[in-house]
Chain A
């Protein structure tokens, strides 16, 4: 019985895969709402080095992973591919379930796959420090780790209420040498404004983003780093799927179904894009993105341009969206909270290469508990969405008597976010699904906006 498939260090992928080269329909560029024209690279140059901007818009199929990045990847990569034998046995399914363990990295998630790359490209561009924001603390941890590897300063603006109540995330960042400050902070003009109103202001993600950008734009030798949504982030994450592609072949298997959870889309894209390439080439397989039923961006939202606000002052991005009036119901996963999905993933859904499914809050935590009590590893709350889908598909295979091969991205462990499990186990979480009538009203609101060709 194969329980774990390890890839030799010498076989680690040497290039990232850029699906923009193979998309049957390219993604439209983000537009400036003032002019209706695409946003130009010079605007992004304020926050990203040119090498990263080039990756953001590149149509090259393969992009070399620099040797210096590979050296750092080897700290934890290639990550293991596990056969979830005890979960299979518990479910009594004929399906064979494999999961790619991205909880193996030092910060415990897939996030450092891009954090390491971004830190490197900034380093060679002469940048001395990176700024970012963090809410739950997962991305801040990953970037802190990456900066420590390349001798960069790292400034993390962590929402104050989270900073005060999640000391282990903050300590992780500080252990890796980052300067993690509670936001709002006295270090920026935008932070000072809020502190003048209330010296104990609890902060918000929006304030933290503003502070990180202001710091980046107004400080010498500084740039800003982002952990999801952007195309270059998805590119860096493909190392996950490229490894898994080799590992599943080592087991003499090929997946019938590839599954991942999708918030901004980076971990899902990381595993699935190399397999989507096969699908574009004619291979038959299902690729499933899982999202919270309380925030059904992919499963119920149209593909449309969505104005950022009623004043129409923010850029237009082609995304799956529920429109202006959408108010997310309670969701529980730190990474699954975006109004929109990464444009690449949206395009692939529209073109029927990816399907999306939504899962309720209680169902996902029940799945996470089942996984922890069979396979032992405690998943991150957002990972539980993928596990819920795996269990659903495994049960379906049982009903149909089919020996399907299921591959899932186990995007991170939940050891530092056990409060979510405590809330579930103590009955403090509840499900909420947006009624179809409400969805229809919201979608109608988007009818006046032009659709991408």
Chain B
């Protein structure tokens, strides 16, 4: 199964969406796949509640937020 990825501007396989985030799903997977598969059931079968919370309890970060976060990480280490 392929889908057009919003971030990469290209078709990607379901296997990418479900594991690209450090072996956890992309946080956009619900919106992208909900009309095509029972994505909630698949996620619940594959991942623990804790793993799902790790992905979906955080918000999508803006580019600036990611940058500032990375600067803080690098300059404090």
Residues of A within 8 A of B26 (CB): 204
B27 near A381 with CB under 8 A, answer: no
- Residue of B whose beta carbon sits closest to that of A417: B9
A197–B2 touching, CB < 8 Å: no
Given known A229-B64, A315-B65, contact A162–B59 (CB-CB < 8 A): no
Contact A205 B7 (CB under 8 A): yes
Query: Which among A198, A307, A329 is the interface contact of B59 at CB below 8 angstroms?
Result: A307
Chain A positions 190 through 229: 1 when the CB is less than 8 Å from some CB of chain B, otherwise 0 = 0000100110001111100110011001100000101011
The answer to whether the Cβ of A30 comes within 8 Å of any Cβ in the partner chain is yes
Which of A44, A419, A430 interacts with B10 by CB under 8 Å? A419
Cβ–Cβ < 8 Å partners of A308 in chain B? 59, 61, 65, 69
**Within 8 Å CB of B6, what residues of A?**
295, 328, 330-333, 336-337
Residues of A within 8 A of B22 (CB): 194, 197
Write out, one digit per residue, whether chain B residues 14-50 have a CB within 8 A of any chain A CB (1) or not (0): 0010001111001110111011100000000000000
Asked if A30 contacts B64 (CB within 8 A), the reply is yes
Residue of B whose beta carbon sits closest to that of A34: B72
Question: In the complex, what residues of A have CB within 8 A of residue B31's CB?
Answer: 294, 327-330, 432
Residues 34 to 79 of chain A near chain B (Cβ within 8 Å) = 39, 43-44, 46-47
A224/B28 in contact, CB under 8 A: no
Complex: how many Å from CA A432 to CA B33? 10
Distance of A213 Cα from B65 Cα, bound (Å):
12
Residues of B within 8 A of A327 (CB): 27-28, 30-31, 56, 60
A412 CB → nearest B CB, Å: 12
A209 adjacent to B67 (CB under 8 Å): yes
A226 touches B67 (CB 8 A): yes
CA distance A43 to B32 in the complex (A): 36
Q: Is A329 in contact with B32, judged by CB distance below 8 angstroms? A: yes
Chain A residues within 8 Å of B30, by CB: 327
A135 touches B67 (CB 8 A): no
Task: Determine the chain B residues whose CB is within 8 A of the CB of A204 once the complex forms.
Answer: 7, 20-21, 26
Q: Does the CB pair B7–A309 fall under 8 Å? A: no
Contact of A197 among B10, B23, B64, B68 (CB under 8 A): B23
**Chain B minimum-CB-distance residue to A227:** B63
Chain A residue numbers with a CB within 8 Å of B3 are 330, 428
Q: Which of A47, A310, A339, A417 contacts B67 (CB 8 A)?
A: A47
Contact between A314 and B20 (Cβ–Cβ < 8 Å)? no
Interfacial chain B residues near A252, Cβ < 8 Å? none
Residues of chain A contacted by B60 (CB below 8 angstroms) = 326-328, 339
Min CB–CB distance B49 → chain A (angstroms): 15
Q: How far is the CB of B23 from chain A (nearest CB, A)?
A: 7
Interchain CB contact (< 8 A) of B63 among A226, A313, A419, A429: A226
Q: Does A340 interact with chain B (Cβ within 8 Å)?
A: yes
Q: Is the CB of B69 within 8 A of A430?
A: no
Q: A-side interface residues toward B, CB under 8 Å? A: 30, 39, 43-44, 46-47, 135-138, 159, 161-162, 165-166, 194, 197-198, 202-206, 209-210, 213-214, 217-218, 224, 226, 228-230, 264, 294-295, 306-310, 313-315, 317, 319, 323-334, 336-340, 381, 417, 419-420, 423, 428-430, 432
Q: A264-B63, A328-B32 are in contact. List 15 more A-B contacts (CB 8 A).
A: A43-B71, A47-B71, A138-B9, A204-B26, A230-B64, A294-B31, A308-B61, A315-B68, A329-B32, A332-B4, A338-B63, A339-B61, A420-B4, A428-B2, A430-B35
Question: What are 25 A-B contacts defined by CB distance under 8 Å?
Answer: A47-B67, A136-B7, A159-B8, A162-B9, A204-B21, A210-B66, A228-B63, A295-B6, A307-B59, A308-B61, A310-B57, A315-B64, A326-B59, A330-B4, A330-B32, A333-B6, A338-B62, A338-B63, A339-B59, A339-B61, A420-B9, A423-B11, A429-B4, A430-B36, A432-B35
